[in-house]
Chain A
């Protein structure tokens, strides 16, 4: 189908975009890369009165490393993330995650900020932000807010962002020497949304996790930072310890059922992902269920 009629404004600056958003409120939609917004408009799932195109605001583009923090502008495209040596060096989880996002033609347009503001619970980037303990920076006319990624995502396509605010960028702590990461998702076809997925960032010292942030996606209404992971920190992981963590994980998840998978299947896949993550990051093939990836 075709999108219904709308007005279009090409924002010239962040301040200009915010003026438009304040004037139109939730009747306006921000157009970044458009790879989720335009399909939704073409399908007439949404019919905004005004499109605020922020594509030309160059200050929102780019990747920089300063003072132990990796800053990524909201308009940075998936393809830019994928090819960035800074991202590969300081947040390699993201490099790996991006390869699972859709297809090249989509990654050439889709942006980090767009993906985060859209907040699809099956998307790779929101979960990666939660795993990486990112700070999401949003700006309104009165003030700038800095929101921890785990508090930013509040439901299906819902975030802490108000209709009068613009997502400016994210800040990521840079990976430490002993940092390790794991990313995997189960999808029917390459580039599809995941049936279940896991983005994890860990610190491993002497064969033990001293930190493990395991963010599951497509198994709830938002990325889920598994509390079960705390059971694996600073302990020698035996099959029994892993089984306990796995049971805790199954209990804390409340996955949806849809045409792709039942809730039970999603729970099962999440447990498999956790076990494979632990096995891979600790270098313990003995903990791998159902063969290697």
Chain B
């Protein structure tokens, strides 16, 4: 049973069939096998949030999920969110507000922020802080990130009929 196991899942809308060792985590599967390197690997024990992806519509730490556990699941990575245009405005707001410097945490930040914006239309700064509390940024001091998420929330609200 230590041998590779077959898995079949959907990644960014495309069906993927693969054979993976049980010890392989989802982050490494995405990066090494599928070459989707937007998912970053920081602490590898669930603290930093850089590896945040969406599985079956909900955000998870991809370093704390085994690839074999994603059999039958639908995974969306930062590449999927970016290519579909779902977070184009959020990405623009991050640029405008200087909400990234080195950019290492940014994919995880964007995935987590979009998760909040899908659940709540206009979260206040405290809610944004709380929702992003599991994502570390070592450059920005967070204020600009909160600004960008808040700005995006307000802009999306304004666009609604």
**Which residues of A are in contact with B by a Cβ distance under 8 Å?**
1-10, 31, 34-35, 38-39, 42-43, 50-51, 53, 55, 79, 102-106, 108-109, 189-191
User: Please, which residues of chain B bring their CB within 8 A of the CB of A34?
Assistant: 64-66, 69
A106 x B61 contact (CB < 8 A): yes
Please report which residues of chain B, range 40-95, place their CB below 8 angstroms from some CB of chain A when the two chains form the complex: 44-46, 49, 52, 58-61, 63-66, 68-69
| CB contact under 8 A between A2 and B59, given known A38-B65, A50-B1, A103-B133 | no
Set A5, A9, A35, A55: member contacting B46, Cβ < 8 A: A35
Give A1 Cβ to nearest chain B Cβ, in Å.
6
Q: Which A residues lie within 8 Å of B129 (CB)?
A: 190
B39 at the interface (CB under 8 A from A): no
Measured in the bound complex, the distance between the Cα atoms of B44 and A43 in whole Å is 8
Residues on B with beta carbons closer than 8 Å to the beta carbon of A9: 1
Return chain A residues, CB-CB under 8 Å to B66: 8, 31, 34, 38, 51, 53
- 10 A-B contact pairs sorted by A residue (CB < 8 Å): A6-B22, A8-B1, A8-B5, A34-B66, A34-B69, A38-B25, A38-B64, A103-B133, A105-B60, A105-B61
Cβ of B134 within 8 Å of any chain A Cβ, yes or no, is yes
User: Is A105 a contact partner of B133 (Cβ separation < 8 A)?
Assistant: no
Chain A residues near B135: list those with CB within 8 A: 103
Complex CA–CA separation, A2 to B21 (angstroms): 12
Contact A109 B64 (CB under 8 A): yes
B residues 1-42 in Cβ contact with A at 8 Å: 1-2, 5, 21-23, 25, 28
Is B147 interfacial (CB-CB < 8 Å)? no
Q: Does A7 contact B1, Cβ atoms closer than 8 Å?
A: yes
- Alpha-carbon separation in the docked complex, A109 to B68 (Å): 15
B130 contacts the other chain (Cβ, under 8 Å)? yes
Taking a contact as CB atoms closer than 8 A, the residue among B22, B25, B58 that contacts A51 in the complex is B22
Alpha-carbon distance A6/B5, docked complex (angstroms): 12
B131 within 8 A of A: yes
B105 neighbours in A (Cβ, 8 Å): none
Q: How far apart sit A79 and B60, CA to CA, in the bound complex (Å)? A: 12
State whether B22 touches A8 (Cβ < 8 A): yes
Size class of the B contact interface (CB-based, 8 Å)? 20 to 34
Residues of chain B contacted by A109 (CB below 8 angstroms)? 60-61, 64-65
CB-based contact B134/A105 at 8 Å: yes
Min CB–CB distance B20 → chain A (angstroms):
10
Query: Which residues of the other chain, B, contact A1 by a CB distance below 8 angstroms?
Result: 44
Query: Given that A34-B69, A109-B61 are contacting pairs, would A39 and B2 also be in contact in the complex, using a CB cutoff of 8 Å?
Result: no
Residue from B44, B130, B133 within 8 A of A42 (CB atoms):
B44
Q: Interface majority SS on B: helix, strand, loop or mixed?
A: mixed
Task: Given A5-B21, A42-B63, A102-B134, decide whether A53 and B69 contact each other with a Cβ distance below 8 A.
Answer: yes
Residue of A4, A50, A51 with most chain B CB atoms under a 10 A cut-off: A51
* Interface 0/1 of B116-145, CB less than 8 Å to A: 100000000000011101110000000000
Give complex CA distance A9, B2 in Å: 10
Closest residue of chain B to A191 (Cβ to Cβ) is B133
Q: Does B112 contact A (CB under 8 A)?
A: yes
Question: Which chain B positions have C-beta within 8 A of A39?
Answer: 45-46, 64
Whether the pair B68, A104 counts as a contact (CB closer than 8 A) is no
A104 touches B45 (CB 8 A): no
Provide the bound-state CA to CA distance between A3 and B58, in Å: 24
Give the complex CA separation of A190 and B134 in angstroms: 8
Q: In the complex, what residues of A have CB within 8 A of residue B52's CB?
A: 105
User: Given the complex, which residues of B lie within 8 Å of A31, measured CB to CB?
Assistant: 66, 69
- Chain B residue, CB-CB nearest to A79: B58
Residue pair B61, A55 in contact (C-beta under 8 Å): no
Chain A residue, CB-CB nearest to B132: A103
Q: Which residues on B sit within 8 Å (CB–CB) of A7? A: 1-2, 22
A223 smallest CB distance to B (angstroms)? 23
Taken together as a complex, chains A and B put the C-alpha atoms of A210 and B152 apart, in Å, by 51
Beyond A7-B2, A34-B69, A51-B22, is A104–B61 a contact (Cβ under 8 Å)? no
In this complex, the member of B60, B65, B68, B131 whose beta carbon has the largest number of chain A beta carbons within 10 angstroms is: B60
